[in-house]
A and B are shown apart, each in its own frame.
Chain A
Amino acid sequence: MSTYLAENSYIAIKPEATEGTAVVPTIFLPLVSENIKTTVNYNADRRMKGISWKANDLLRGNRQHEGDIVFLADPDTLGHLMNMVMVKGSTTGSAGDGYTHPYTVGNGKSYTVDIKKGLYVQRYFGVKAEELKLDFQDGQLQATLVIKAMGQFSVGSVGVALTGAGMTTLVLDDEYDISPNRGLVVGDVININGTSVTLLTVNSNGTTVTFASTAITASVGASVYLVAQTPSQATLYDPLYFGNLLIGFGADATAAATAAGSRSTATPVYDMSIVIKKNLFAQNGSNRMDPVQIIPRTDEAQLKLKQLFTGVSQRQAFYDRTKQALVLKFYGKYIKTDFSTQELFTVTFNNVKLMEHGNAITVGDMIVDEENFEVLYDNSDGVAMTASLVNRSAGTVY
């Protein structure tokens, strides 16, 4: 199998019981793309050494692990993404009826994320969502998740040579980090200079892992990498579609929910995007070369809509800073066999006001209201936004 085909890649995730402590991911999600990378912040060693070249080595800086992951937002995948940006409440329902997951503003969960690339896996742990963007591409709901992570394990080096039969312990080299086994988990399979072993322990000393007695010969500096799992896929459902989205406008959340309740009262739109931002503060400090903590600051969200220009109400709302409420209902396939419950993602914005409004005109085109809303905290309702999701995943997976 070619190691360079992107189609052979996978992403696997799992919520962490303790933030920043890696777990072995078990949930394999289909993805469109990702570009997460570790920035080591190397600097040329500019100390004066009497040589005529700029530098003869690099020095390490503090590390960051950041990037984007793009998914098509099917209802089960969407549940995990919402679990990272909001707080999931108590799930109700059943496998036959579908499960309903409520979400409120708050600190979402951290995840361990494994991304298979060719031979090996890049694992990021303590992964937190910086931003979640939902928009439509080709009529399919697409989710772009921007993440920051507290650390990574992918490739290491042998620190103490392994000399043949009966090896049970690997000491990793400390060139990358003085706790090089951080990110490994009992049950992981690692490849040591061509031989794969399953980890029995990950030592708290930060350098050592153990495995069952195996014949391995590996000199100092030989490669060690995290072996990919054999991917498994739960039943995959369609992403939510633009054509099944109903948007309700109202003076308050109750009126907006009523308006979103049927096609006759919903407002047609021709483009939509939602961005939820966590404004993460990734703090490098003592104790680690990686971020010691990733702390969300205040939440914010923005919403962009395009409507055909049919009146001046939005222009008036823009000039007058008029409060509006919006409810978006993304309907999906039916879950219950009697067609009484279906996939449904509902987002309620209790107080939105227009930040920007435009009506550009071009020959041959329709006149469109381009509306950029800021999502604001509503004093009457005591909340800025809420969400709920009906899908086939039990609440325990989140």
Chain B
Amino acid sequence: MLEWYTKAMLMKYRHKNISGQDLSIEGIGVVKAGEVIDAPENFHNANFEKVESEKKEDKKTDGVKSDVPKK
């Protein structure tokens, strides 16, 4: 059975480490003080401030969920 999913538009935001110290974040690694990183939309940490955003195109499908493979 094939399932086709529609992936949402992925918004990537840039966040700057404003804490004054190097911080480690799971899935990202060590972020130096003052360093800017790309992080997903739901990233939320008071040691970081959002600096700019950029859209990243998704791999959009036709969104049709079907049990029958398309010919």
Q: Of all chain A residues, which has the CB nearest B23?
A: A232
Interfacial residues of chain A within 66-111, with CB under 8 A of chain B in the complex? none
Do B43 and A230 have beta carbons less than 8 Å apart?
Answer: yes
Asked whether any CB of chain A lies closer than 8 Å to the CB of B26, the reply is yes
Task: Give the chain B neighbours of A231 by CB distance below 8 A.
Answer: 25-26, 45
Give the complex CA separation of A375 and B24 in angstroms. Answer: 41
Do B46 and A234 have beta carbons less than 8 Å apart?
Answer: no
Asked whether any CB of chain B lies closer than 8 Å to the CB of A196, the reply is yes
Task: Give the chain A neighbours of B23 by CB distance below 8 A.
Answer: 232-234
Q: How far is the CB of B53 from chain A (nearest CB, A)?
A: 13
Asked whether any CB of chain B lies closer than 8 Å to the CB of A286, the reply is no
Do B46 and A187 have beta carbons less than 8 Å apart?
Answer: yes
Asked whether any CB of chain B lies closer than 8 Å to the CB of A227, the reply is yes
Most B-side CB within 10 Å, residue of A26, A187, A232, A234: A232
Q: How many residues of B contact A (CB 8 A)?
A: 17
Q: How many residues of A contact B (CB 8 A)?
A: 17
Q: Of all chain B residues, which has the CB nearest A232?
A: B23
Q: How far is the CB of A1 from chain B (nearest CB, A)?
A: 11
Interfacial residues of chain B within 7-65, with CB under 8 A of chain A in the complex? 19-26, 31, 39, 42-48
A234/B25 contact (C-beta < 8 A), A25-B46, A189-B44, A227-B44 known: no
Q: How far is the CB of A165 from chain B (nearest CB, A)?
A: 18
Task: Give the chain B neighbours of A232 by CB distance below 8 A.
Answer: 19, 23-25, 31, 45, 47-48
Task: Give the chain B neighbours of A394 by CB distance below 8 A.
Answer: 20
Task: Give the chain A neighbours of B19 by CB distance below 8 A.
Answer: 26, 232, 234
Give the complex CA separation of A196 and B48 in angstroms. Answer: 18
Do B45 and A235 have beta carbons less than 8 Å apart?
Answer: no
Give the complex CA separation of A26 and B18 in angstroms. Answer: 11
**Interface SS of B by simple majority:** loop
Give the complex CA separation of A228 and B22 in angstroms. Answer: 21
Q: Of all chain B residues, which has the CB nearest A25?
A: B46
Give the complex CA separation of A25 and B21 in angstroms. Answer: 15
Q: Of all chain A residues, which has the CB nearest B20?
A: A394
Give the complex CA separation of A93 and B19 in angstroms. Answer: 19
Asked whether any CB of chain B lies closer than 8 Å to the CB of A273, the reply is no
Give the complex CA separation of A198 and B43 in angstroms. Answer: 11
Do B22 and A229 have beta carbons less than 8 Å apart?
Answer: no
Asked whether any CB of chain B lies closer than 8 Å to the CB of A301, the reply is no
Q: Of all chain A residues, which has the CB nearest B50?
A: A198
Give the complex CA separation of A196 and B40 in angstroms. Answer: 14
**What are 29 A-B contacts with C-beta separation under 8 Å?**
A26-B19, A26-B47, A189-B44, A196-B42, A198-B44, A227-B44, A228-B44, A229-B44, A229-B45, A230-B26, A230-B42, A230-B43, A230-B44, A230-B45, A231-B45, A232-B19, A232-B23, A232-B24, A232-B31, A232-B45, A232-B47, A233-B23, A233-B24, A234-B22, A234-B23, A234-B24, A235-B21, A235-B22, A394-B20
Nearest 6 A/B pairs, CB to CB: A232-B23, A24-B46, A233-B24, A26-B46, A230-B45, A229-B45
